[in-house]
Chain A
Amino acid sequence: MLTLNQLMPALPEIVLACTCMALLMLGVFRGDSSTRPVSWIAVLALVVVGIVLTSVQSGRMTAFGGQFIVDDFAHFMKWLIIIGSSFAIIMSINFNEQESIARFEYPVLILFATLGMFMMVSANDLISLYVGLELQSLSLYVVAAFRRDSLRSSEAGLKYFVLGALSSGMLLYGCSLIYGFAGTTSFEGLATLFKGLGGTGPSVGLIVGLVFLIAGLAFKVSAVPFHMWTPDVYEGAPTPVTAFFAVAPKIAAIALFIRVLTGPFGVLIAEWQQVIILISIASMVLGALAAIWQDNIKRLLAYSSIGHVGYALIGLAAGTEAGIRGILVYMAIYLAMNVGTFCCVLAMRRTSRMVEGISDLAGLARSQPMLALALAILMFSMAGIPPLAGFFGKLYIFLAAIESGLYTLAIIGVLASVIGAYYYLRIIKIMYFDEPAEAFDRTLSGETKTILVGTTLFVTFFIIRPDIVVGSAETAARMLLAG
């Protein structure tokens, strides 16, 4: 019998699901004029969910017959997702009105995507993994094509949908092979099974299933060689949606990646480590090199995010507590840097139209010195220059890699970040030293400015109290690996 107490671990998800449906009803009855209230209620709901999350949380708990799990790791990741999603809604309010695509479904779909991500982070079974992933992806396909009258946005949505369906197919194929050879879909069952194998290796079928599973997940985090959709989707989707894509789904997919590989497949590290190392190196190198030739800032940020995923995966390849802690810190910093940068991209509006060329930033330092300063700080941080936050993210990851003896990976990572620094610094050079282009319209809303200032301050002053993030990341990583 299911009692109310057994549902407690999933309370944040239940609250979120009910809010989604209530807001949908509100929107349907009040029409598109209710977009602004619906958006703010959605942000408020996310905050409430965060509070519920904090109050319910105590140690490691499972619900629904072990299909759902909450622990400090899930807690940490869910907080990052809440921040990413609420920023994406706040940033969109003014943008959608300016572009006359303000519709109440946008915040509702973002909330549904958030619910899917929560389910992914808390998945403790191959089936719940898939259901969460699909809920998230389906909402993302729709918001990618949200500006449906624009050819590029529709193309982005369609491309994302087709390739996403393909990757889901691969993932399911992997899951079915794993189920076929292991006889269970539950993560605990799989972990017990693999521990029981002793010295003997698992059968070929399981390895093939695992590889397919990794391929499906690598698509969702857009790691090379499954990254092809990223630049097109980032370029075509409306800017706040791109900001959302760059942070929340990546964080959720990385969380899923970590949970699957260190949890049930933790014993098989020898089997998956090489795959992750390869993916990681390829992502870092491609992210660093391909971005150099981009002249659209959203495409550039797409390649930059591919590179960042490569760095984060180094920590996973290490597979140690230090590595996981490194990823968690990296993702938190990555969230702040990306949200801030996309706020700056939102400010690139000239004669009421969005401009996205990097050359449009020329001379920004003279027309809008504060904006240029914020973007410069964020770019320095992305490049990993001390004492900004981005440096510490990379530091923790590389330290973990060296501790586990992955010297090649660490060296390639450092080299790639040096190459990557070129295009980040180029943006700063264009802003400060090039002949000024026409000034941007000053239409950035107060809320977006607040987000920009907040993230920039976080990135700048991370050095003073790194222990706030690092400490909770450490407990999260320890709890994940202890279980």
Chain B
Amino acid sequence: MIIQALSFYLFSFVAIASAVMVISARNPVHSVLFLILAFFNAAGLFVLIGAEFIAMILVVVYGGAVAVLFLFVVMMLDISFTELRQGFLQYLPIGGLVGIVLLAELLMIGGSWVIAPATETVRSFPAPPIDQVTNTHAIGKILYTDYIYLFQGAGMVLLVAMIGAIVLTLRARPGVRKQKISDQINRRPEDAIEIKKVQSGSGI
């Protein structure tokens, strides 16, 4: 148990610290790297509560794909981040005020939070039982049956996102020389080479 508690505090501490670093690092590339660190620690927390599938997905999708994509975008776009940060102090008072109001409201809501007594039993005896079915299996079982509608709907959303990206950015540029393999193969020596007889010692 003590190891679990220790790793919980370790993961949470590093996750929060790196989250702070994401917004305070001067160099945007460092920010993205800290973001990846935060994802890994969050994944560690998921492993601790026994949700290994979500933990792995977090590493693969967020750590692997999303964060690397961010990294590329940050490196390739020529954005002056110092310029973006200008005016930060200027907006701090009003932004801080809004933040404090929101926080107070959230605390008020949190105060009225009631946990239904039934939840405790559900939590201690999850269905399907955790020692019989791995949670990857359990998610798969409901994702493709009970939630098939939402799963397919989400698939449609992704398809539209893909079409949208292509529609808005793909351009047929003129003057691009593409490789035409059939033309290359069909080339015969007679079309390409001219044989000249050169008399020795006289030049062409």
Contact = CB atoms under 8 A, between A and B. Distances in A.
A205 B168 contact: no
B139 interface: no
Contact of B153 (A108, A132, A203): A132
Interface in A121-168: 127-128, 131-132, 134-135, 138-139, 141-142, 145-146, 148, 157
Interface of B: 105, 108-109, 112-114, 116, 119, 145-150, 152-154, 156-157, 159-161, 163-164, 166-168
A138 to B, nearest CB: 5
B113 to A, nearest CB: 7
Interface stretch (A46-54, A64-72, A259-267, A365-373): A64-72
A109 B160 contact: yes
Contacts of A146: 167
A117 B61 CA distance: 29
A115 B160 CA distance: 11
Given A105-B167, A203-B114, A204-B109, A139 B160 contact: yes
A204 B112 contact: yes
9 pairs of A and B residues whose beta carbons are closest in the complex: A142-B164, A64-B149, A131-B153, A205-B109, A105-B167, A203-B112, A138-B160, A204-B112, A135-B157
Interface residues of A, number: 40
A64 B160 contact: no
Query: In this complex, which of B147, B156, B161 has the most chain A Cβ atoms within 10 angstroms of its Cβ?
Result: B156
Given A64-B148, A146-B167, 17 more contacts: A10-B149, A17-B152, A24-B163, A65-B146, A67-B149, A105-B166, A105-B167, A108-B163, A109-B163, A112-B163, A128-B150, A128-B153, A132-B153, A135-B153, A138-B164, A204-B109, A204-B112
Contacts of B160: 109, 112, 135, 138-139, 142
A24 B167 CA distance: 12
A127 B150 contact: yes
Query: In this complex, which of A63, A108, A112 has the most chain B Cβ atoms within 10 angstroms of its Cβ?
Result: A112
Contacts, number: 78
Contact of B149 (A21, A128, A134, A145): A128
A128 to B, nearest CB: 6
B156 A112 contact: yes
Given A131-B150, A208-B105, A17 B145 contact: no
Interface of A: 2, 10, 17, 21, 24, 63-65, 67-68, 103, 105, 108-109, 112, 115-116, 119, 127-128, 131-132, 134-135, 138-139, 141-142, 145-146, 148, 157, 177, 180-181, 183, 203-205, 208
Contact of B161 (A64, A138, A208): A138
Contacts of B148: 2, 64
Contacts of B164: 109, 138-139, 141-142
Given A64-B149, A208-B105, A142 B112 contact: no
Contact of A208 (B109, B154, B166): B109
Query: In this complex, which of A24, A142, A157 has the most chain B Cβ atoms within 10 angstroms of its Cβ?
Result: A142
B112 A205 contact: yes
Contacts of B154: 131
Contact of B168 (A115, A132, A145, A181): A145
A241 to B, nearest CB: 13
